Amino acid sequence: MNFSDSIFAELASRGINKVFAVPGGGNMFLLNAACSNPQLEVIFCHNEQAAAIAAEGYYKVSRTPAVCLVTSGPGCTNAITGIVGAWLDSSSMIVLAGQVKTDDLKVGELRQKGPQEIDFVRMMAGYCLVAHEFKTSNQAELMKVLNQSECSPRGGPVVLSVPLDVQNSRVEFDEQFNSVIVNSSNKTGFDFCPLFEVLSKSSRPAILFGEGCRDISPDMLKSLFKLCEKLRIACLFSWLSYDLLPWDSPANMGRPGNVAKRHSNFVVQTSDVLIILGSRLDHTQSAFDANRFGVNATAYLIDVDQNELDKMPARFNKILSNSSVFATRFVEFFMQLSSPPYRDSWWDYCQSLKAQFGRERPVNASRSALDIDEVVDFLSTWIPAGATIVTGSSGLSVEIFHVGFRNKADQRIFLTTALGAMGFGLPAAIGVAQIARINELFLFESDGSLMMNLQELATLRGIKKRILIFL
């Protein structure tokens, strides 16, 4: 067994079994190890950016990391867009990159020594959980790096660079290192009772659920949403989280932001208590003015990342905690309570706003062409419950989709929001197609974005998976 074999054996022992790869001379031993391991499935992409995006798409739906395997030099630089997008959206993956032999690694200020050599670890250091280059085939070093990444409160890529000679170094797999450190980063000590007391006395309460709420178990989420409806608490969502609750649920008040239906923003701005749970409240949500977001409300921000809390204005009550802890405490506190009568007017107001503006569409000038709003309206009705829908990440058609799509129960809908890279849709859908339980898979993409990774249609044909594409 060489070091490459031991890397993939360890990853497989942690439940990682998908590898999205582009072959090259710089990763030849890693590639051979991946293909030789019966626990792994290797999917060959046609560009490293696509391999990284496919790994992100796979994680977003399966919640299990995949490997993005690339060669040295340009293979690494091609992958950067996908890696950075995953970092900003807290999506986990393992990036294994080939590198020149250790004797050919540059030192000091020399620009390059080995052929196709770049300092990939230094490039990626600020955009991943861990960036590490192995200079020896030290098994303990491998375990330390992987365990370190699993202790982060947020997901993200792990970037590992392996020089050619280290890839092929002979090692013995030592069972004493075959252990996983359990993530103990969930914050459980905060006393939510004062917050819940304020919420229970609120006349116009609302909760904004972000992507971080995917840490909450499905059963707990159902209980939480059922309580929100019972207690007349308006539920709001981000573009990454709105598939958590069907659009037609009475509690669902949509997706606020600077590109949004009006009723969602009205609910935010008229609430008197606003809880922001597992959402970093970026500029597209706050319309570049967080200080006036929910301006009439006592606002609470709950997040696992202290840096996200620190960036917000002082008017927010900031709580460092995991969303699943909040959900558990919320259900325990409110389970036996009833909605106070004075909330009925708030609920009626929310429902009237949704009825008036929830399906509002721009006035269409007299022309015969089909517009995107009509397509999104049709897809809202036509795509069945339980389907998976991947979209592109930038452009007008994508924005219209996420503003207007009326999601059904158990649909999974996603894009990459923070980086918003064109070319995302097709490779992300290919990543999702590798999940065995996915039956009905749809891609909604813009023409310009599809062109960025058009070559992955050949990948799609090679893996013989079915994706219905709306362009």
Task: Collect the ranges in the chain with pLDDT lower than 50.
Answer: 180, 182, 184-185
User: If DSSP codes are grouped into helix, strand and coil, which group holds residue 21?
Assistant: strand
Contact partners, residue 450, CB within 8 Å, separation at least 6: 392, 423, 425, 426, 471
Q: What is the DSSP letter of 117?
A: -
| Span 237-250, pLDDT tens digits | 999 999 999 999 99
Q: What are the strands of the beta sheet with 157-163, ordered from one edge? A: 41-44, 18-21, 67-70, 93-99, 157-163, 130-133
> Residue 273's beta-bridge partner residues?
205, 298
pLDDT of residue 170: 86
| Span 80-95, pLDDT tens digits | 999 999 999 999 999 9
> Please, what's the b/e burial string for 105-124 (b: 16 or more CB within 10 A of its CB; e: otherwise)?
beeeeeeeebebbbbbbeeb
Rounded to two decimals, what is the model's pTM?
0.93
pLDDT of residue 366: 59
pLDDT of residue 173: 56
Residue whose C-alpha is closest to residue 140's, from 176, 98, 101 = 176
Contact partners, residue 47, CB within 8 Å, separation at least 6: 22, 78, 453, 455, 456
pLDDT of residue 336: 85
CA distance 166 to 103: 11
CB 51 within 8 A of CB 70: yes
Q: What is the DSSP letter of 250?
A: T
Output the CA torsion sign for 43, 47, 51, 53.
negative
pLDDT of residue 367: 64
pLDDT of residue 370: 81
Reading the block at residue 437, the tokens are 């339980």
pLDDT of residue 204: 97
Of the CA atoms within 13 Å of residue 123, those in its CB half-sphere come to 18
- Please work out, in degrees rounded to the nearest 5, the angle formed at the alpha carbon of residue 375 by the alpha carbons of 371 and 376: 115
